[in-house]
Amino acid sequence: MINPIGSETLNPLFVSDDNQRNALIEEAKSLPSVLVSSATAANAVMLAGGYFNPLTGYMNLADALSIAETMKTTSGGFFPVPILNLVDSVEAIGEAKRIALLDPNVEGNPVIAIQDIDAIETVNDAQMALMTEKVYATSDPEHPGVEAFNAQGRIAISGPIQVLNYSYFETEFANTFRTAVQIREDIKQRGWQRVVAFQTRNPMHLAHEELCHMAMNRLNCDGLVIHMLLGKLKPGDIPADVRDDAIRTMVKLYFAENSAMVTGYGFDMLYAGPREAVLHAYFRQNMGATHFIIGRDHAGVGDYYGAFDAQTIFDDQVPEGALDIEIFRADHTAWSKKLDRVVMMNEAPDHTREDFVLLSGTKVREMLGQGIAPPKEFSRPEVAEILINYYHSLA
């Protein structure tokens, strides 16, 4: 099996020993506490599950700035984006060197982790602007990732953490949420050697399904991990439970037994385009995938990124040798009226746009909201039925 990044085995930060975890929960009652941002809580979940191996906690400012510039820490370790604990105030901390981090996404704000404080540093406007521009390739406040990142505080608390739970992901998505450790074990038990991962924050229509089949066949893979984002999205995106139902239905009906695994991870979408594509590849290697599908405008939003920027970043910005996982580069896939099947559009040079079945997201949502299933060349009828029922529930 492919090795994780930076170590021979994963080092998840979740405290798995019940006695130790209970003792830490008790200790947290006597510690100063800080209500962290949703992004910080989601990063704790990713650290807990081994996805961000070999990180041990939140970065200091020097490392965060270095990563923003070069995707390397000051000591040369590779990581694609800053992982920070940014807060508005540290008044409650005082001289404490150990604090409890409170989860903003669960009622009652329970302790999600305990952090040892290495440093408390103020992030100035220029430093925040640099990280924003380097990671998101824009400083436009209308960009949802830029808005969320800059809505956090300006005080960075760095240091290692011990994670006590997986926030709401393990309870609300019990059948889907899996840690990198669990996925590695599942891959091992299934006997898969070559594994391709597919990222999604949306339901999978026929083109997505066929793209996965293409990748499996061309890469000679034993298995596919459909790995969906379960965290916060932007308004208008399909909720995770609806996506989960639609994807599981598709896999059950249209994939061979023991060829596809449906899982999810707890993280807030960054919409950072190319940088987020590298992050996606990073933690897919940690979960055991040997290959990762990156298509047109991967992890993008609006018109902020070029169609294939999320692919070319692996050629000109990712440090050589930083990743062992291989990228499967895909173009937009669509049904060809000429060939009567789904193809990658760049592999059909004799086609015009009119030769494909193409529907905008807006058009598809309108059809589903009116109870009209998209054509069979666009969406499986069983998937369309689930989405129609969801849109009817909003009426």
CA 75 to each of CA 62, 70, 116, 281: distance values in angstroms, whole numbers, following the listed order? 10, 12, 20, 22
202, 248, 329, 346: the active-site residue: 202
Report the predicted TM-score, pTM, of the whole model to 2 decimal places: 0.95
pLDDT at res. 239: 84
Instruction: Please report the domains of the chain, with CATH numbers, ordered by start residue.
Output: 18-170 (3.10.400.10), 177-394 (3.40.50.620)
pLDDT at res. 233: 67
The residues near 138 (Cβ < 8 Å, ≥ 6 apart) are 132, 146, 304
Q: Is 202 a catalytic residue?
A: yes
151 CB neighbour count, 10 Å cutoff = 12
- Per-residue DSSP letters for 232-274? ---TTSPPHHHHHHHHHHHHHHHS-TTSEEEEEE-------TH
Nearest to 14 by CA among 170, 214, 228: 170
Which helix (H) or strand (E) segment is 115 a member of? strand 111-116
Q: Is 329 a catalytic residue?
A: no
98, 154, 190, 201: the active-site residue: 201
One digit per residue, the tens of pLDDT, for the chain of length 395 reads: 999 999 999 999 999 999 999 999 999 999 999 999 999 999 999 999 999 999 999 999 999 999 999 999 999 999 999 999 999 999 999 999 999 999 999 999 999 999 999 999 999 999 999 999 999 999 999 999 999 999 999 999 999 999 999 999 999 999 999 999 999 999 999 999 999 999 998 899 999 999 999 999 999 999 999 999 998 766 777 888 899 999 999 999 999 999 999 999 999 999 999 999 999 999 999 999 999 999 999 999 999 999 999 999 999 999 999 999 999 999 999 999 999 999 999 999 999 999 999 988 888 888 998 999 999 999 999 999 999 999 989 87
